[in-house]
Structure 1
Amino acid sequence: MALKTLDNALEILRYFTYEHPAWGVRELAKELNISHSIIYRVLATFEDHGFLVQNEDTKKYELGIKFWEYGLIVRSKLRISDMIYPTMEKLANETGESVFLTWLDELEGICVDIAESSQRVKFAVSIGSRTPLYAGASNKIIMAYVPEKDQLAIIEKGLQEFAGYTIVDPQKLLKNLEEIRLQGWCYSLGEYSDAVVGVALPLFTRKRKITGSITVAGPEYRFPESKVREVLTILEIRTSEIQAYLDTIL
């Protein structure tokens, strides 16, 4: 397969997201402005290899079992279940709020794991969901540490208002990112979801390249600004434990 053809085929796969997990041939062709015959051949090839399956009822294509297998390989490599999640669970119990592990994937954040709060009312995000790096503590702490050219590339794509306090002014966002990087942690209120507070710390590779974040998040009425310093102190302790582990594998 020519590199250009492979590149186009992989670009098509990027459209299968948590928010839009199934696509019809003509629907995807219109979205990409590519001939539906080309889209069909690509999708059919992925189906032959188990990367996609066609729903018998809707005739739309969905991600196949192969991606689940590869996801397990990555999860096993990071040893999330037995090395990272227990620390996240401790953090959730200590703070009374949900804890999120977010990973940097190109120029987006992807929720890799969640230790849910025991509270009846909680901030819910689904594992596997992708979110832009400019909205919310879990993402902005990552964006603060990516190279400036990547920050500008994200801004160039456009800043969408997700909630009442999403920063959509490029200059204000860049200034905010600089402040976050200087202080080493991020606080957000109502940026991705209204009335939701998040406090996040970055995670790095051994070479100090940003790779993800750990975030404590909950509803504003239960997580007032006066509680942030207390939560941050606990978050710093648990994040240092996770970082120490990541330093041995990344």
Structure 2
Amino acid sequence: MAGSLLLRAMNVLELLAECPHGLPLQDIADRLEIPKSGVHRLLAEFIQLGYVAQDEQSGRYLLTTRLMSLGFRLLGGSGILEVVQPVLNRLAQSCGELVRLAVVDNGRLPFVAKAQGARSGLRFDPDMGGEAALFCSASGMAWLASLPADEAIAHVVRQGFTQLEQRGARVPRTIAEVMHQVAETRRRGYACAIETWAAGMSSCAVAVAAPGSDRVGGVVSVAGPSVRLTEAAIEALIPELRQAAEELSAFAPLADYLESINPAPPRPASMR
């Protein structure tokens, strides 16, 4: 994978973020198509800076919590967690499933806040810090449905069809299948994903738009086991999910933050 030194460094960090148990040096070099010597130099610098550690026994390289702490400092300083958490908590308590908020961040959809409503039995509760797989998640579909078709396709192609072997039986495998799901999301007014993200898991999502605008800056979703979160169950909770999305869109700190990280594209000169 060619690119500048900075691009290579960021690719190393992003790869390690996907592998919480770390990776050997050779695996990192092979996956990123970077010479082993170059990867070793980057990792040595990251270790000096405190972003990467090397396990003494296995020799694997893994991320420290320093990047995580930067993210928490950013979210804490933005003020959004204080205002969104009560809304997520209330919805989670009502539906008894996992509720998450993802924000649109330069073509990505990372999850930044969550509330778990399931107290016993089957639970879906992945680690925080991940991002929505655009091609197979309800959150991804809810955002893609707000975009022009060519832009939606470009985002899916850029992210790729990731971890297909870990997905559910109904996962879309082509751009045409993804865009069919996007069209269905537009028709319904909400996204519904059953057995796509993972086997035995369902989710639904509604976009969070800025007040007085159709620009989507975030997505609120509900996810849980498919045996509980059936199509009928999803349809029944959509009014509450929409209400939560409307409340979130009205919070000034959240709206300001989403606008700041995703500035509106410049208008053509003829429209000014």
* Short-chain TM bin: 0.7 to 0.9
Question: Residue 82 of structure 1 corresponds to which residue in structure 2?
Answer: 82
Partner of 2:143: 142
3-state SS of 2:16 partner = coil
Contact 2:143 2:219 in 1 (8 A): yes
Match of 1:187 among 174, 192, 198: 192
Is contact 2:96-2:116 (8 Å) kept? no
Q: Secondary structure at the match of 2:4?
A: helix
Deviation at 1:242, TM superposition (A): 1.2
Moved more, 15-24 or 193-202: 15-24
Instruction: Please say if residues 16 and 62 of structure 2, whose CA atoms lie closer than 8 Å, have aligned partners that are also in contact.
Output: yes
* TM-aligned CA distance change 1:195 to 1:55, over 3 Å: closer
Residue 34 of structure 2 aligns to a residue in which SS?
coil
Give the drift of 1:105.
4.5
Q: How far apart, in 2, do the equivalents of 1:73 and 1:204 lie?
A: 25
CA offsets per residue over residues 137-189 of structure 1, 9 Å max, x none? 12221222345444323247447361111122322321321332344311121
**CA distance in 2: counterparts of 1:20 and 1:76, whole angstroms:** 24
Cα distance, 1:63 vs. partner? Answer: 1.7
Tell me the TM-score normalised to structure 2 length. Answer: 0.80
Cross-structure match for 2:217: 211
Residue pair 2:136, 2:178 contacting (<8 A) in 1 also: no
Q: Which has the higher strand share?
A: 1
TM-score, with structure 1 as normaliser? 0.86
The answer on whether the counterparts of 1:55 and 1:61 sit within 8 Å (CA) in structure 2 is yes
- Matched residue, 2:128: 127
Q: Which residue of 1 aligns with 2:9?
A: 9
Residue number in structure 1 paired with 2:102: 102
Q: Is the 8 A contact 1:107 1:150 kept in 2?
A: no
Q: Deviation at 1:91?
A: 0.3
Q: Which shifted more, 76-85 or 26-35?
A: 76-85
Aligned to 1:167: 172
Contact 2:190-2:206 within 8 A present in 1 as well: yes
Q: Give aligned-pair identity as a percent.
A: 21
CA–CA separation in structure 1 for the residues paired with 2:70 and 2:148 = 28
CA deviation digits over 1:91-112, x for unaligned, max 9?
0111222211223345443332
**Alignment coverage as a number of residue pairs:** 248
Match of 2:127, SS state, is coil
